[in-house]
C-alpha cells in the first residue's frame, strides 16, 4: 500500500482546516465505561460485549452523541477567527456560569439560563419532542446518582 | 421503582439502544413467514411551478404501504407559514414531522421578529436538519412561497441538497410529470394556464406510476393569499362505498303514533338558597 502523495499547494491550504479538525471531540467507546478498580462493573451494567463497546450500531449514533459539542467547537473557533480570542472566552464563561444553575442530578432542572444563552428557547428540534426526560419511565436511585455526579463511584 | 444502574438522566433526542436488537430481529424474521411491517410511503407525484402572480403546487393523494394503498385521500401539501406551503414525498411520517417542526420554528421566528418568514429561511433550516441526519429521514420536499423578494420554488432532497428552479417534480412519478412540464412550461404564465399545466403533469404521473393515484390537490399561493383546493379533480375510479353507517331521521317510516300524557302533581317543594357572593 503506497502512501498518498499530497501536492504542496494542497498541504498549504489545509492548514486552516486541520487546526479546526484537531479541535473536534475525540471518539470514545460506546458501551458502559469502566467502573471501580478499572474493570467493567458487571453487577450494575450487565455483561459486556467487545463489539458493542467499540463499534456504533447505527450510522448516526456517533455523530449524534457529539453533535452539540462539535457544533459548539466549530462556532467558537469561527468566532475566534473573526473577532479574536476574547469573544469565545467571554461566551464560554457565561455558559459555565449558567450551567451551574441546576438542581440535584436526580431532579428535573429547567436549564432556563443555559437555553436562553444558547438560543434553544427559540427553536424546536427532535431533542424537545423525542425522549423527553420529564417522561422517562426509568427512575434512578438518588444516592447513587449524586455519588456518580460527585465522582465518588 | 428506582433502578440502581441509571447513573444519569437519559439525554433527549434519538435513542439508539435498540438498534442491535432490531437488526437481530429482522434477520430472524426474514427467514420465516412473517415480514416486518413496511413504513407508509407516499410513492407520489408532486409538482410545482412559478407563474406570473405566484406559485402553484400540485400533488396526488395516494399513500402506499408496500403493495397496499394505505390512504386514498392523503394530504401531501403541508402548511408551513401563511405564505409558504410544502409538498412532501418519501416516508409519510418523516415528511409530516419535518414539515411540522419547520412550521413551528418559523412561527416562533415570526412571533419574535414580527415578519413573515422568507422561503430561503425555510429552505436553509430544512437543509441543515436533513444533512445532520445523513439521509436517514426520508423526506423529499418541494417548497413554494411568495415573500418580499418575489415568488420562489425550491426542492430539498433527503440528504440535504437544494435546488432553486422555476418548475419541479418529485416523487416516484416525477419523470412522467417532468415530461409534461418540460414540454409546456413558459416563464410568466397566467394563473389558469399554470393550474391546468400542473394538473396535467400530476395526471400523467398518476397514469404512469403505480405509487400515485386517486385525486389531485392544487395549492395556489399569491401575494393576496392562498387557495388550497383539496380535490381539484376527483378520480373517475371512485367507488360508491357508503362511508357513514348512521341512519338519518326519516329512514324508517312511521306507521302509527300514540301519545299518552303523563299527569304529574307537585307533592313537595323545597327551596335551597345558593350563596353567590
Closest-CA distance, B142 to chain A, in angstroms, reads 21
- List, in sequence order, every residue forming a beta bridge with B69; answer none if it has no partner: B64
**A19 pLDDT more than 90:** no
Of the residues B3, B15, B16, B133, the best mutation for testing chain A's interface (the one with the most A CB atoms within 10 Å of its CB) is: B16
Mean pLDDT of A34-39: 67
pLDDT of residue A144: 85
Contact map slice: A 59-118 vs B, CB within 8 A: 59-61, 63-64, 67, 105-106, 108
Question: In b/e form, how buried is each residue of A83-118, taking b as 16+ CB within 10 angstroms?
Answer: eeeeebeebeeeeeebeeeeeebbeeeebebbeebb
CB B172 within 8 A of CB B212: yes
Q: Is the pLDDT of residue A136 over 60?
A: yes
pLDDT at B33: 63
Distance CA B58, CA B46 (A): 6
Tell me which DSSP letter residue B265 carries.
-
Give Cβ neighbours of residue B41 (< 8 Å, ≥ 6 apart). Answer: B63, B64, B65, B90, B91, B92, B138, B211
Query: CB-based contact (8 Å) between A16 and chain B?
Result: no
* CB of A36 less than 8 A from some CB of B: no
Q: Which residue in chain B is spatially nearest to A153 when comparing CA positions?
A: B7
In chain A, which ranges are E strands? 139-140
The one catalytic residue in B44, B64, B91, B98 is: B44
**Residue B221, beta-bridge partner list:** B55, B226
More confident residue, B13 or A117: A117
Q: Report the C-alpha gap between A138 and A136 in whole angstroms.
A: 6
Mean pLDDT of A56-73: 86
Residues of A within 8 A of B6 (CB-CB) are 138-141, 145
Positions of chain B with pLDDT lower than 50, given as ranges: none
Cα B65 to Cα B40, B137, B177, B208: the distances in Å are 4, 17, 22, 19
Residue A153 has pLDDT above 50, yes or no: yes
Q: Supply the pLDDT for residue B244.
A: 72
Contact B152, B119 (CB under 8 A): yes
Q: Higher model confidence: residue A48 or residue B151?
A: B151
B252: annotated active-site residue:
no
Helices (H) and strands (E) in chain B, counts: 5, 14
**Alpha carbons B172 and B259: distance in angstroms, whole number:** 65
Q: Which residue of A has its CA nearest to B3?
A: A140
Least confident of A44-48, A73-77, B40-44: A44-48
By the CB < 8 Å criterion, does A150 face chain B? no
Distance CA A46, CA B274 (A): 65
Of B88, B113, B118, B111, which is closest to residue B100 (Cα–Cα)?
A: B88
Give the N- to C-terminal CA distance of chain B in Å, as an integer. 48
Q: Determine the 3-state secondary structure of A130 from DSSP.
A: coil
> How would residue A96 be classed by pLDDT, with cut points 50, 70 and 90?
very high
What ipTM goes with this model? 0.72
- Chain B residue numbers touching A114 (CB-CB < 8 A): none
Q: Tell which wins on pLDDT, A37 or B82.
A: B82
Indicate yes or no: CB of B8 within 8 angstroms of CB of A148: yes
Q: Hey, which residues does B152 pair with through a beta bridge?
A: B145
For residue B164, the distance in angstroms to the closest alpha carbon of chain A comes to 25
Q: pTM for the complete prediction?
A: 0.77
Identify the pLDDT of residue B210: 86
Domains of chain B, first to last: 45-233 (3.60.20.10)
Q: How confident is the model at residue A33, as a pLDDT?
A: 63
* pLDDT for B47: 94
Spatial strand order of the sheet with B167-170 comes to B167-170, B46-50, B54-60, B216-222, B226-233
Residue among B4, B13, B133 minimizing CB distance to A144: B4
User: Could you tell me if B62 and B69 are in contact, meaning their C-beta atoms sit under 8 angstroms apart?
Assistant: yes
Amino acid at each position: 500500500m503506497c502512501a498518498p502523495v499530497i501536492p504542496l499547494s494542497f498541504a498549504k491550504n489545509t492548514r486552516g482546516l486541520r487546526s479546526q479538525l484537531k479541535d473536534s471531540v475525540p471518539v470514545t467507546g460506546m458501551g458502559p465505561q469502566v467502573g471501580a478498580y478499572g474493570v467493567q462493573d458487571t453487577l450494575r451494567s450487565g455483561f459486556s460485549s467487545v463489539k458493542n463497546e467499540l463499534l456504533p450500531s447505527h450510522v448516526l449514533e456517533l455523530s449524534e452523541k457529539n453533535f452539540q459539542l462539535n457544533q459548539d467547537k466549530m462556532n467558537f473557533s469561527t468566532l475566534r477567527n473573526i473577532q479574536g480570542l476574547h469573544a469565545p472566552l467571554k461566551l464560554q464563561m457565561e455558559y459555565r456560569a449558567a450551567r451551574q444553575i441546576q438542581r440535584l442530578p436526580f431532579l428535573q432542572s429547567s436549564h432556563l439560563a443555559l437555553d436562553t444563552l444558547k438560543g434553544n428557547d427559540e427553536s424546536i428540534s427532535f431533542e424537545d419532542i423525542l425522549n423527553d426526560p420529564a417522561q422517562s419511565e426509568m427512575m434512578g436511585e438518588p444516592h447513587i446518582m449524586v455519588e456518580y455526579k460527585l465522582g465518588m463511584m | 421503582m428506582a433502578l440502581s444502574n441509571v447513573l444519569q438522566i437519559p439525554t433527549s433526542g434519538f435513542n439508539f439502544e435498540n438498534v442491535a436488537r432490531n437488526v437481530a430481529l429482522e434477520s430472524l424474521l426474514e427467514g420465516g413467514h412473517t415480514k416486518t411491517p413496511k413504513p407508509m410511503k407516499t410513492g407520489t407525484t408532486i409538482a410545482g411551478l412559478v407563474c406570473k402572480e405566484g406559485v402553484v403546487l400540485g400533488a396526488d393523494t395516494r399513500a402506499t404501504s408496500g403493495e397496499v394503498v394505505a390512504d386514498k385521500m392523503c394530504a401531501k401539501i403541508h402548511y408551513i407559514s401563511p405564505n409558504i406551503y410544502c409538498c412532501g414525498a418519501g416516508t409519510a411520517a418523516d415528511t409530516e414531522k419535518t414539515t411540522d417542526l419547520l412550521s413551528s420554528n418559523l412561527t416562533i421566528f415570526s412571533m419574535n421578529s414580527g415578519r413573515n418568514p422568507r422561503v430561503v429561511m425555510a429552505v436553509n433550516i430544512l437543509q441543515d436538519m436533513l444533512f445532520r441526519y445523513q439521509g436517514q429521514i426520508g423526506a423529499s420536499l418541494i417548497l413554494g412561497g411568495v415573500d418580499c423578494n418575489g415568488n420562489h420554488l425550491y426542492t430539498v432532497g433527503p440528504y440535504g441538497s437544494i435546488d432553486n428552479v422555476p418548475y419541479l417534480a418529485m416523487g416516484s412519478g416525477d419523470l412522467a410529470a417532468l415530461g409534461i412540464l418540460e414540454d409546456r412550461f413558459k416563464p410568466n404564465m397566467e394563473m389558469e394556464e399554470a393550474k391546468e399545466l400542473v394538473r396535467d403533469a400530476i395526471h400523467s404521473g398518476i397514469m404512469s406510476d403505480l405509487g400515485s393515484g386517486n385525486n389531485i390537490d392544487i395549492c395556489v399561493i399569491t401575494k393576496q393569499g392562498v387557495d388550497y383546493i383539496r380535490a381539484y379533480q376527483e378520480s373517475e375510479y371512485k367507488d360508491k362505498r357508503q362511508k357513514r353507517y348512521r341512519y338519518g331521521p326519516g329512514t324508517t317510516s312511521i306507521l302509527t303514533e300514540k301519545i299518552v300524557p303523563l299527569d304529574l302533581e307537585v307533592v313537595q317543594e323545597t327551596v335551597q338558597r345558593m350563596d353567590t357572593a
